Structure 1
């Protein structure tokens, strides 16, 4: 992007972003235009506090580690230092869009690191309108795949998790119950599982629990009466420990195969008595196998977890885009990423050409107590080719 174009952007970006904010409230690079050594600034509007703050802080640690490991410790591309500019949105879409507006007005051409799915969708529309590159961080929402040519994801998506869990069915035509919270995320996850499992001939029955529920025995009994071959639990928040306890008390954990998506290690305690009786799927976890890049990641961030890996991958994508096309060529950077295959800390990944699905293997894991501490151990790997969305 020329200096003239950036000056024009500074004058026009606020007007074109107002509608989005209102909606939210309701290698060497090619020769750069800037002087040698001038920093390349990457805008990171993300949650560092609030409900999603844990994930945003993981993203931040992963971005810094990924930049370090992808540039042999120099934090430079083409002789220019790369700097991340963070803005805490606190989980508020209007704040995220306002921060992104200011960053783009200041000449930033790459945005990265979003953790909220709802915010990511709005930033994707913003990125396309403002002709900037967006590399989301942790959001697993399927709608980001194929949303536009400017948007890429650095993590897995719900359909990959659902497809990995479908491999746990004892028989493809078996009956599956999905226990989820009755709001948009839970409803959408049920819909995704129904689509994926239904395509394989399985029956799916949802059991939806109101967000304000505090008594879970009736829902555990519904599951017992359904007598499923597989129970998938998609349940988070403060009431999760009580829900898992109810499943244990009603004998659900001993009567069927139970599967869930592994959360970050700091929250493994929510599983309570279910921890060692549940099979988990995950795209990364502490102690996950990997090569030299995983060693580098864990040296930089010893407690690296789910979203730390996502931030690391985002940094890899940023370095590749900058090294191939340079910071002023948004179209060139997008083309460099479209169809790119690379090794992440967890192993091989491919950005599928056209819709930017991030193809990758998924882990099947279990938790066990070792020395009083829960430790994740691999039980198998589901190849990315088998679970491509």
Structure 2
């Protein structure tokens, strides 16, 4: 079954929504204008309930089908990135320093398209909970919505989401059972020594040399402490120190990220980093303090629901077998999948610039496929009775 005919009928309308959202991006939890736009459309569609102000600016709307049944959750993120746009398009961002560079405007549009169709047809049992979430890009808005009790409050039993993927052809989907995206943590190591004159290092305790030693030692975690059959990435991405060529500074800072899938691997990394900081600090005569911040957990699909979602995607477009390679990027939908079983899928955005690129733009041809997927998922998961 291809794109749902009724959804194809309002393709141009979806394009209008998406481009209006693209031109007015909002960052983090401050998505109030975006939420107001969403709520206005949902009222036009005639959904049964709209709940606003969740996790500051999040929206949950309910559509009831024909007869009693479970509640299925469909999620779209709606926040933009804190970056400037360089597309030069007529609908480019009008807000300096904010851009829909990851396609959340498209994700929101796809869920709105499904909402319009589902509110019209109601060819399903039970209830659909439409979740419009702020602050995916670093704020953990999904986690905040879970903490505020959306799953319990609305009785959500399972939950699904889509993310566009540049390079994957339009109309194609991919997913996998189990872990599909990594957990992401970040760290800061503060190396404290004793400053001095560059000509007299014997009178100083150099944090720069110590920082270099610590960075080198950190690389051995992956190469010597970790099972090579498991995925793990540790990237030192920043070293900050010093102010002049002839001054040995007193302090240096090391920053980076850790990407993993297994909580045991994550715990090993934290332990080894603490040991390295302590040992290297003693070796170089400095103090090395580790601040390790646990970020988004791994995005782990329920195996059965991932297989089911892949079947539905195959009815709407073209779906790979449900064994696509997992990615080292992270996604806060993981918090929702920790709370309820479900699946996260990628949908093709075609030959476009990559996400988080200043020339990226969501492909409007993708929206009917995503909206149709959400709609068919509900109808297949909770068929109408009688």
Which TM bucket (shorter chain)?
Answer: under 0.3
Q: TM-score, normalised by structure 2?
A: 0.24
Structure with greater helix share of residues? 1
Specify which structure has the bigger relative contact order, considering alpha-carbon pairs within 8 angstroms and separated by 6 or more residues.
2
Q: TM-score, normalised by structure 1?
A: 0.24
